[in-house]
Each structure stands twice: as C-alpha cells, then as structure tokens.
Structure 1
Amino acid sequence: MRKRQKLIATILKTASSIVGIILLGILVIGYSTHIGLFDTFTVKIKGNQFVTDAQIQKQLQPFMEETYFSIDLDELQSEISSLDYIECVQLSRILPNTVMVQVIERNPILLITLENENFLMDKNGLLLPAKGKAISYYPVPIINISKDMDYKSGLTGEIAEVFNFLVNDYPLFYDNLSEVIIGDEKWTFYSDSKTRIFTTSDNLLSQLNILKNFERTVYPNKQLGDYSYIDLRVAEQVVVKEKYRKG
C-alpha cells in the first residue's frame, strides 16, 4: 500500500513539474510576444577576414524586416554563399533574438591572368575575380601563360592539380615561389631568390618530386636559392648551375 502511495506521489510530482514548465513557457512566450522581443533580430558574424561585415549585411538586408522565427535560415545561407570568396556558411539561432553567421572563406593559392583579366584560383580550381584589394590581400604566386601558347580549357585543372601538390606535399617550395611561366610543353618556376627551375609539362609532378628529393639531399650545405637554375627536363637527372658568389 505504501509503495503504491509513494508511486502515485512521484507521478503527481512529476506531472506537476511538467505542467509548471509548460505554463512557464507559455507565460514567457506570451510576455516576449507582448513586448515584441522576437519582432526583430540581431546578426553576429564570425570567421570572415577578407569579406567584410558590410558585404554580408548587404546580403541579409532583404530579410531584416522579418521576425526572428519567421526567417528562413536556408535562404539566408544561400544569399551569403553567393558572395565571391565565401566557401561555406553555417547559421544558427541563439535565443532570445540573435542569428549567428559562421563563415569559412575560400583560400586562393595563385594569381593568374586569362584573356586580359586577373583571377585568383582556390584549391578546387575555382576562378575568383581579382581586383586591386584582393590582389594585395593574398600574397600568392603569379601564373603567366606565354603569348605563343594557345590557352586550353583543361589547363586550369592542370594548374590546380600542380599547386595542390605544392601546397600539401611541397610547402617549402610553394612558400618561396614567386612566379610560374607556362609555355608550350614547358613550365618555368621562379623562386623568391631568383632561382629558375625548368620542367616539362609531361610528368611534371614526378619532376617536382625529384626536385624535393634533391633539396633534401643538398641541405643543409646548400639551398635552392644557391643555384642560378635547376634543370629537370632530362629524365631522372638534375642539372644545376650555382650562383656566382664573390669571395
């Protein structure tokens, strides 16, 4: 009998707590609606560095007249993602009336000129319009295509593949790379120290791996910057010319 009474008391206590929470929620929502707490909302933006808050706010402007719970986060996400240099966006609601915008920007890895227009390219081979601000903001290697070479549609994919290799597998070389000139069946790399590296377009990644192994072999006695040029065009060979040093 006592166990039954205790069980009933527990059930009643639990039910009372649930009812109390529901009533409190109704009161809070009713009061919040009465004072207009959810009629407007604020936006907090995080993660952006190159893209300004003002650019993101401009994309959000058409939605600012909506109420906190009526806004469509998917639509907001789509609008912000349409901005150049935005790779992805995450949106979340934070009570009572804040929308958090978490931005991940694209990371350009090179600058290239195509048909007299400048573009920055990200790791996926996506071309981004490059104006003065973007060019000065991203200190990346410059790609020049020789005038005597016909541009082909698949070239950007080849360039993206080569530079992804450099960024991920040979960052020391990438970080000291200033320019690449692409000609007919040949690529010439120029380091910050004015060293020229001659390669052919065939088996280019293999040649760069040979260069990486060569750099490991000569270090620490020498570095790539100690050479005037390094020629990788002969299969399985490294032909070099050292820079002249006075004294």
Structure 2
Amino acid sequence: MSESLEGKIAVVIGGTGGIGVATSRRFAAAGARVVVAGLTVESAQEVIKALPGTGHHAAAVSITDSATLAQLAQDVESRYGHADVLVNAAGFTKPVPHADLDALTDELIDDIMRVNWRAQFAAVRAFRALLDKSGAGLIVNVSSISGSNGIGSNIAYCATKAGLDVMTMSLARVLAPKVRILNVSPGVVDTGFVPGRSADFNDKVANTTPLRRIGSPDDIAQAIEACATHLTFSTGTTIVVDGGRRL
C-alpha cells in the first residue's frame, strides 16, 4: 500500500505522454493535487478529467522555451503557493542507425539536446524556489538505460540521457537538504514514444529481456511514485526499471 501524498502539489511536465499520464494518475490516487503540463491545455484537460480527487490543474508549456517554464512556475505559485514534486517526463527522439553518422545531423542533435537535457535543467531552475518552499521537495527525471549502455534510438539520445544522469548527481549536491532529485531509468516501454518501430518490436525485445516482457507506463509511474513515498533517504541516483534489459 502506497503512502499518502495528501496535500502535496505535484507538477508533471510531459503529463500528456504515456508515462506522464500514468504518473499523474498514481499521484492523484495517492492524494496529491496534480498540475498536468502538456503541449496544449486541451490535451492536459483530457488527462485531468480522468484523475481521481480534486484541485488538479491543466497547463500548456513549451519545454524548450525557458520563459514559459518560468511562467508555469509563477502560475503554480499563484494557485498553490509552493510545489512538492516536479516530474520531468517530457522527451523527444528520432530513430537513426548508430552507424549512419551523416544522418545524425547538427540540427537533430541540437533538437534532442534542447528537449532531453536543457529543458529538464531549465525546469529545475524555474521550480527550485517553489520546491525549496516545500521543505521536502522532490524532482524526478525520466532517464533511460540508453544513457548507460549506449544502445538507443540514436547516439545523441543516448548522450542526453547520460547527461541527465550526471546532471542529477550534480544537482543533488547543490539542492540538498531542502530538495531531493532522482532519475527513473526505463528500458523499453510500451508507448508510442519512438516512432517507426515495427509491429513485432515489443515481442522481440520481450523475448530477450530477463523478465520476459517490456515495461508498461505504469511500471515507470510506480517507480516515480516510490521516489515520493518510500525512497525518502535517496538523492542523486538513478533507479533502473527495465526488467533486467541492461544485463
């Protein structure tokens, strides 16, 4: 049985994606009031409609625009006064064979870096003061095992996830003791996050994963929730949730 998050304010950036939706649902079920931030207010409102509890809020944010992240933080402060949890669940990738160096263009590298590393740092920067006010703030970044094994949709994506792991270690030192920061690192998850995968991709991966299945969005959301409810003496580290895929 999960511990209660009653009265907590949780901001889920990327809250309209598979992992973000599952995380918002778990946080709301545990009693938190959830700010679901997506690309549009309408998409965030659809998520809010299905959440248990009350006091939730739908917001639109462009994660590569630091000004809109700062505005989101101001809106959260005006509405709730502080934030207890920030989840960075937004991301972007495009499949590029690792051997095809020419296909990994400068433009794509820059786009991936902006969305998968700079945006997470900018969100932390924007919400630091609000999390400090909590007194027991928490940041959870959604990383990937590609950051440690170098196997992923493209080399730049792997590099940004490795960078996210290092960012979390660095920030843990400077944000403590008021704010903890953790990464949750999935393997393959059953979402539409990576475009262009064949219909049998999930089955192939499941057959070569020790626990013989791929992750569900709720598997990852459960780990994110645990960071808030059970792993309260942990900071600056990465929680791997991959069914043994990296082994």
Coarse TM-score class (shorter-chain normalised): under 0.3
- The answer to which structure, 1 or 2, has the higher relative contact order (CA under 8 A, 6+ apart) is 2
Q: Is the radius of gyration larger for structure 1 or structure 2?
A: 1
More strand per residue? 1
More helix per residue? 2
Name the TM-score, length of structure 2 as normaliser: 0.21
